[in-house]
Structure 1
Amino acid sequence: MATVALRSSEGKWIMGSAILASAMAFIDGTALNVILPSLQQSLNASGADLFWILNAYLLMLAALILIGGSLGDQLGRKKVFMIGIFIFIAGSCACGIAGSVTLLILFRIIQGVGGALMIPGSLSLISASIDVKERGKAIGTWSAITTMVTIGGPILGGALGDAGLWRYIFFINIPIGLIALLILGFKVKESRDEDKNRSIDYGGVVTIALGLAMLTFGFLRVPAMGWANWQVYMTITLGVLFLATFIMIEAKSKHPMMPLQLFSNLTFSGANLLTLFLYAGLGAGMLFLSLNLVQVQGYDQLQSGLTFLPFTILMVSVSRFAGALSDKYGPRFLLIGGPATAGLGFLLLSLVKQTNGPHEYWTTFFPCVVVLAIGMSFTVAPLTTAVMGSVSDHFSGTASGVNNAISRIANVFANAIFGALAVLLFSGALQKELKQMPLKEKDKQAVMASAVNLGNAKVPKGIDDSHKSMVIKAYHESFISTYAMILRIAACLGFLAALMAFVFIRNSAVKKAG
């Protein structure tokens, strides 16, 4: 189809609709992190419930985002994009009125279905519609603004959580989605790949969804049941088998949702490995930093959200510039330096111990957040450019879907694996703390029983008043120890992402944008 200039009227409408719709999905991927304490209290949710509320949404994104991209190529990018927005609005409205944990998890699944159709649709619409000479800048603009709202999600969530209005995190999607639908309906032309076969890879959809769900369930059961429990090893084994079956189906299918031949391009493979490692680290790092600030460091939820404001400002300031640099010089060196710098940011964050509250933010967390933000700012746009530029144009939607699926899979596994690991680390650290405390054995057992709630653990009833402060300190010290270990693992994942770029990504494999 004919392309348009980025600054043309049609180009601006395309960018506006893509950014608005994507923003909804990305906000809901991060906004709940900060307000988990409010949600936990309002719905009487356990620690495991919280991880499922996060993962129900991410699971559907990871499982269906692949088919979302290919459906757009086959049936029309604008059409599938609009269907996704409508489903997402409906799911958001339902989440806002959910009266129980079970209902909220169910409605988050509906949101994830809508998001799976929206997110790849936005990028493939941009890639297919904007002139190739300006495509890097367009993707950089999209990356900057959507990442801004992703990181801005905790700020919004914190403000609403402190006001007792956490449900409005979902309701706010309704007007945004309606505006995007109106723009698409009246101002944006349809775009599709006319040569694409319209068969749908149902086998791939089912096996990847079951595989991810089984693995997530298994890892989240580890803290409560232990590795030797049949629920754990059976579900993890089934998850691995389903994912292996998914790969076999994709290899044999005439019209796979994830064409394996795309991975014959080492740059495409390297970019997706980079995505897997970096976004797993980012997901774990942001989640546990938010929990640390609210539950241990004494920040309220808005203050916790505002700690990410430097991240937001740098993303807006730098991402478009990084996209232009990627167009001019190629993405390789940016994709080596960016993740390595982000890894350094995680490492510095892991060194921050107990502080005296928000007034010490500027000398403790702030420098570390700035380093992390610089690393991510120089990564996001070049990474997207590398993914989209390493495949032929008619695979643009599918490539976008694969890369976004990888980032959601990374977040799913980060929540499941790091969630389970955190409980185990927290329990181990707490046991060491309790050995030094003059408590009765039954009181120690009661203290340990609260470990599944991590930093939100409460002093059990019956503990003598003279010992309560000691128990609270033990909880805090144990969580900080756990947080430090998780952030160091996140740092290693950032460095590993940089290594993937160094080994696999080549500028010569990425289509030149000018």
Structure 2
Amino acid sequence: MSQHVVADDQRTRSASATGATGRRGNPWWALVSVALGVIMVGLDGTVVSIANPRIAEDLNASLTDLQWITNSYLLALAALLIFGGKLGDRYGRKRMFLIGVVGFGLSSLAIGLVGNIVGIIAFRALQGAFGALLMPNTLAILRGAFPPKELNRAIGIWSGASSVSIAGGPIIGGLLVEHVSWESVFYINVPMGALALGVGLAVLRESQSESVRQRHDLPGILTLSGGLFGVIFGLIKASSWGWTDAKTLAFVFGGLVVLALFVVIETRVSAPLLPMRLFTNRSISVGSTVLVINFFALFGVLFFVTLFLQNVQHVSPIGTGVHILPLTLAMMIMGPISGHVTERFGPRPPMVVGLTLSGVALLLLTRLETDSGFGALWPSLLMLGIGMGLVITASAEAIIGNAPVDDAGVAGGLQTTALQLGGVIGTAVLGSVLSSRVGSVLIDKLTGAGAPTDVANGLTGSNELISQGVAPRVTGASESVQTAVATGSHEAFIAGLHTSLVVAGVATLVAAVLALLVQRGSNSDGTTVVVH
């Protein structure tokens, strides 16, 4: 039978934390359960980046294909996260979390079995849809389980669990790609999902909001999803169509118009998908914007540094994972530390410091050259990981800590949407920037390296391949000409990488300035919670 508890936010969560008996309903066991789901999603993100070069080789995938393998997942996730949080608020956060866990595992299995690019992209989108049920409800479950004084610590551990999976992903992915197959990196989600399901069924208590019994906001769902798709599709295709091409502008501006329509709809419906009242809180608005920019930089850098290591420097998949460890280990360690810092000082200091460190680290990465050793890479990656780890936990406090507990699922969806949307925009925009820069310098780099002019002109159609860091083979060319082509191609890739890093670095420093406007969450709104 349901027990209806009407109380303010603090008393509700304190009761949840202190009144639980045994494992079921205990907040720390709830944290273990949701952490397993977060680890599964985190592993998937980093192992895919390690597998991308091998997928391209085995399935003859272009740079755009690889972007869509990443972005079909991120786009579906970003478009549906708020809806997933809303479903959790209405039908039960435990229920939606566990449905997401099962669906994520099964769609991962399908990705490994399908055997073609189109199928992989389609199942990655389905995987993202189930992730949209899983991720926002992890934060909503924590918000309902922990009292305010322990919430930041719990979110720090939640962030640390995500970072552990991000840290382990490159190593696990490298081992699987190198010694089993690229398909196997998706199969690992099956046992992980089974474990998360078993623990969740054993320890989680159901919770939902009494204030979301209205009809679903179908116009809001359609306009949000459609608008995001239009913008992101246009950004991805800009590298091949051109930034000023009519088709690029039509998709990008058309998507922005649809998103504007979404905002209008949300201000007029009785049960909006995303209540616009949340954005009247400055910390929620700024925190969401900052998080988009933060992950704009992270996903873009991770995507292209992986291509740099494997395709330009010919580092093995396992070696690539080791090279990225300074970034991922620093994120893992800083998650819980950031929780303590945020609890003591509020979200503003760790966000400002973290974003500043990240911006400087990105600009320092422009020192990379084709023959740079590990010593030129690890200090910047370490600094970037420290910065990212600080921002993730602090931004959760800025967004979720400032939202009423009745909107916990929506706020969790908003926080995770900002994260994933940043990843989508990062791989799309920075990919287009890199590809455009490669195209503009390619002939000069090839001829400067000693390739004949006619050979250089003939390779302009290989822009997408070179934008992956791969040097094309020239049929019938001498070894010296082929060496010149490889040198020039890699130098063109490096030029594009540098430009994309500057864009990411400057954007992150701008976000550091915006973070000065963030305040500590009050967590003081009244609420109605249903506990089963």
**Does TM, normalized by the shorter one, top 0.5?**
yes
Deviations 1:70-115 (A, max 9, x none): 1111111001111111211121111010111000111111101100
Q: Tell me the equivalent position of 2:410.
A: 398
* Contact 1:75 1:198 (C-alpha < 8 Å) held by counterparts: no
SS in structure 2 at match of 1:3: helix
Q: Tell me the equivalent position of 1:168.
A: 184
Q: Tell me the equivalent position of 1:467.
A: 481
1:284 aligns with 2:317: no
Which of 184, 188, 202 is the aligned partner of 1:186? 202
* Contact 2:447 2:453 (C-alpha < 8 Å) held by counterparts: no
Separation in structure 1 between the aligned mates of residue 37 and residue 507 of structure 2, nearest angstrom: 30
Which moved further from structure 2: 345-354 or 465-474? 345-354
* Contact 2:471 2:490 (C-alpha < 8 Å) held by counterparts: no
What is the CA-CA distance between 1:431 and the residue it aligns to? 2.0
Q: Tell me the equivalent position of 1:495.
A: 509
1:3 aligns with 2:19: no
What is the CA-CA distance between 1:441 and the residue it aligns to? 5.0
Q: Tell me the equivalent position of 1:377.
A: 389
Deviations 1:440-475 (A, max 9, x none): 554223322211121124223233322111110001
Q: Tell me the equivalent position of 1:275.
A: 291
Give the AA of the match of 2:271: H
What is the CA-CA distance between 1:326 and the residue it aligns to? 1.1
Which moved further from structure 2: 218-227 or 326-335? 218-227
SS in structure 1 at match of 2:208: coil
* Contact 1:443 1:463 (C-alpha < 8 Å) held by counterparts: no
Structure 1: which 5+ runs fail to align? none
Separation in structure 1 between the aligned mates of residue 309 and residue 356 of structure 2, nearest angstrom: 24
Give the AA of the match of 2:519: R
Q: Tell me the equivalent position of 2:425.
A: 413
Change (3 A) 1:394 1:109: same
Q: Tell me the equivalent position of 1:146.
A: 162
What is the CA-CA distance between 1:222 and the residue it aligns to? 2.3
- 1:228-377 matches, within 5 Å, as 228-355=244-371, 360-361=373-374, 363-377=375-389
Give the AA of the match of 2:404: S
* Contact 1:330 1:510 (C-alpha < 8 Å) held by counterparts: no
TM-score (norm. length: structure 1):
0.94
Change (3 A) 1:99 1:133: same
Change (3 A) 1:355 1:434: closer
Structure 2: which 5+ runs fail to align? 1-11, 525-532
Separation in structure 1 between the aligned mates of residue 46 and residue 118 of structure 2, nearest angstrom: 20
* Contact 2:446 2:456 (C-alpha < 8 Å) held by counterparts: yes
- 1:103-118 matches, within 5 Å, as 103-118=119-134
* Contact 1:319 1:380 (C-alpha < 8 Å) held by counterparts: yes
Separation in structure 2 between the aligned mates of residue 379 and residue 226 of structure 1, nearest angstrom: 34
Separation in structure 2 between the aligned mates of residue 37 and residue 230 of structure 1, nearest angstrom: 31
Give the AA of the match of 2:236: L
Separation in structure 2 between the aligned mates of residue 384 and residue 438 of structure 1, nearest angstrom: 52
Deviations 1:178-218 (A, max 9, x none): 11111221221111112322421211211122222222222
Separation in structure 2 between the aligned mates of residue 205 and residue 150 of structure 1, nearest angstrom: 30
Which moved further from structure 2: 116-125 or 375-384? 375-384
* Contact 1:144 1:316 (C-alpha < 8 Å) held by counterparts: yes
Give the AA of the match of 2:204: V
Change (3 A) 1:438 1:77: closer
Q: Tell me the equivalent position of 1:485.
A: 499
1:137 aligns with 2:164: no
What is the CA-CA distance between 1:437 and the residue it aligns to? 5.8
TM-score (norm. length: structure 2):
0.91
Give the AA of the match of 2:281: N
Which of 104, 112, 115 is the aligned partner of 1:88? 104
Separation in structure 1 between the aligned mates of residue 229 and residue 159 of structure 2, nearest angstrom: 28
What is the CA-CA distance between 1:127 and the residue it aligns to? 0.9
Separation in structure 2 between the aligned mates of residue 435 and residue 186 of structure 1, nearest angstrom: 65
What is the CA-CA distance between 1:316 and the residue it aligns to? 3.1
Which moved further from structure 2: 211-220 or 134-143? 211-220
Change (3 A) 1:261 1:40: same
What is the CA-CA distance between 1:68 and the residue it aligns to? 0.6
Give the AA of the match of 1:45: A
Q: Tell me the equivalent position of 1:506.
A: 519
What is the CA-CA distance between 1:228 and the residue it aligns to? 4.8
Which moved further from structure 2: 101-110 or 157-166? 157-166
Q: Tell me the equivalent position of 2:230.
A: 214
* Contact 2:94 2:206 (C-alpha < 8 Å) held by counterparts: yes
Change (3 A) 1:80 1:438: closer
* Contact 1:33 1:287 (C-alpha < 8 Å) held by counterparts: yes
Separation in structure 1 between the aligned mates of residue 101 and residue 192 of structure 2, nearest angstrom: 10
What is the CA-CA distance between 1:170 and the residue it aligns to? 1.1
SS in structure 2 at match of 1:255: coil
Separation in structure 2 between the aligned mates of residue 392 and residue 296 of structure 1, nearest angstrom: 49
What is the CA-CA distance between 1:435 and the residue it aligns to? 4.0
What is the CA-CA distance between 1:52 and the residue it aligns to? 0.8
* Contact 1:297 1:354 (C-alpha < 8 Å) held by counterparts: yes
Separation in structure 1 between the aligned mates of residue 332 and residue 453 of structure 2, nearest angstrom: 54
* Contact 2:291 2:392 (C-alpha < 8 Å) held by counterparts: no
Deviations 1:304-363 (A, max 9, x none): 11122223333333321221121122111111111111111111112122326xxx31x2
Aligned length: 506
Aligned-pair identity in percent equals: 29
1:448 aligns with 2:463: no
Change (3 A) 1:439 1:474: closer
What RMSD over aligned residues (CA atoms) do the two structures have, in Å?
1.9
Give the AA of the match of 1:137: R
SS in structure 1 at match of 2:212: coil
1:432 aligns with 2:462: no
Change (3 A) 1:343 1:287: same
